[in-house]
Amino acid sequence: MQISNETERRFVLGLQGLWPGRRWSGVQGIRDALDQCCRVQVDPLDVVWRNHDLVLASRVEGYRPADLDKVLYEERAAFEHGGNLNIYPRGRLALQWSWVYHEGLPVRWEKWGRAHAATVRRVRAKIDRGGPSEALDWAHGEPVEDYRSRRIEGMALHYLWRRFDIMIHHREGNRKFYDRTQRLFGPLPAPISREETRARLALETLRWLGLSGQDGIQFLRTQEDGRGRSRLSKRQIRDGLTASGRLTEVLVEGDHEPSVLRTEDLPLLETVAQGGVPEPWRPLTPEREAVFLAPLDITSSHGRSERLFRFENPFEVYKPAAKRRWGYYVLPVLLGDRLVGRIEPVRDKVTHSLRISRAWWEKGVRPNDIVEPIARGLDRFARYLDAPNVTLGKIGSSQFRDLVARELRQLSH
């Protein structure tokens, strides 16, 4: 099967709930989004909102962080895990646990656990006796130099969490409180076989990517000779799944090598290739609206924006100001199936007002032609943030700024 770049783009966005528009809402929408999107990356940096809040707000109508807390910490319908921290739907717990059971932790953490076994036992015993605990419970413990914790007991909490002995009970800001996994989720299920664990985890990762070529191999997980990671062994896993029929190859316009998707998603791709919208993807409203993507959204980060949109999307938070091409915390602007520009939002921590400090529009984009969807997106963004007003900085010509401001006033009434 051969597909166009447009089909590839729409298919990837559609699987992630971003095309042709939002189709989920409320608390149930959060559950549906997590299940469909497979995982959402967590980042504690809070400039306008945290990364995972921005990801879910771009997909779920009426999203509120308190609703995510309910899903995570009251219903236990999802959980947080991993060295590269993600939120997963509860249905992925067995798979993630099975991987740790068979493969263990990265070698540095296995060595750490053996070297600090007494500390690990002591921390586990305290949680067994007293319930939810956080690193600050050991404020006078042994100091260490690590970004995860300043105390050895905090490192032990991280180790136990990575092993699924404990899980996050709740958060207070960025402070994590842990309790024994069995208390929160019940007994862990029996692990599936090692071979099937590797296969299912690869399928889940490729579903998260939607459609991927050679660039997707880097996201797969495998361990060779105990701990070593190899691109060759990752490729072999992907090729094995293709040979068994669990993955299907398609050729994207302009590519020399095929991309892959899960075979069960092939009917969705065929519908998109024929110019249609799969029935499960029908949006809540037909109105065109700009959506502001999170900096680490999987559709536009990790170099994927260049492939899918021919759009540069560097994450410049950690660059010196003089070396930034765009700005400190910049969000790509999605309109339909195109990235049309970037905005730099700033939220006042005292008044909670939202200011769009700057905007940069892609070549060929005529801002005056997209006033209504941009204003509609800004209005919804401000309501999600509970911002009482929106002010506009250097977002384009004075005429464009005035038109957007006028549209915002109308929407607010």
Please give the pLDDT value at position 228: 47
Mean pLDDT on 337-342: 98
Per-residue CA distances from 209 to 2, 92, 115, 356, 392 (Å):
19, 16, 37, 30, 34
| More confident site: 228 or 150 | 150
Residues 297 and 374 in one domain: yes
Give the number of domains in the chain: 3
| Residue 349, number of CB atoms within 10 A of its CB | 7
Q: Is the pLDDT of residue 229 over 90?
A: no
Please give the pLDDT value at position 349: 84
Q: Summarize pLDDT for 97-111 with one digit per residue, the tens.
A: 999 999 999 889 999
Residues 217 and 362 in one domain: no
Q: What is the pTM of this model?
A: 0.95
Please give the pLDDT value at position 315: 87
Q: Is the pLDDT of residue 311 over 70?
A: yes
Whether residue 286 lies inside any domain: the answer is: no
Could you tell me the CATH number of the domain that includes residue 165?
1.10.10
Residues 197 and 262 in one domain: yes
Residues 62 and 155 in one domain: no
Residues 301 and 405 in one domain: yes
Residues 253 and 303 in one domain: no
Backbone angles phi, psi at 363, to 5 degrees: -60, 135
* Distance from C-alpha of 318 to C-alpha of 129, rounded to nearest angstrom: 41
Question: Please, what is the average pLDDT of the chain?
Answer: 95
Mean pLDDT on 354-371: 97
Q: Which residue, 257, 281, 305, sits at the end of a domain?
A: 281
Residues 88 and 210 in one domain: yes
Distance from the Cα of residue 62 to its chain's centroid: 18
Structure tokens at 380: 């919804």
* Distance from C-alpha of 400 to C-alpha of 359, rounded to nearest angstrom: 12
Residues 275 and 320 in one domain: no
Residues 45 and 78 in one domain: yes
Could you tell me the CATH number of the domain that includes residue 354?
3.40.630
Residues spanned by the domain of 327: 291-412
Q: Summarize pLDDT for 30-67 with one digit per residue, the tens.
A: 999 999 999 999 998 999 999 999 999 999 999 999 99
Residues 35 and 113 in one domain: no
Please give the pLDDT value at position 412: 85
Whether residue 98 lies inside any domain: the answer is: no
Q: Which residue, 281, 299, 318, sits at the end of a domain?
A: 281
Please give the pLDDT value at position 227: 42
Q: Which residue, 236, 258, 281, sits at the end of a domain?
A: 281
Mean pLDDT on 193-211: 96
Of residues 334, 100, 298, 136, the one with CA closest to residue 208:
298
Whether residue 270 lies inside any domain: the answer is: yes
Residues 79 and 213 in one domain: yes
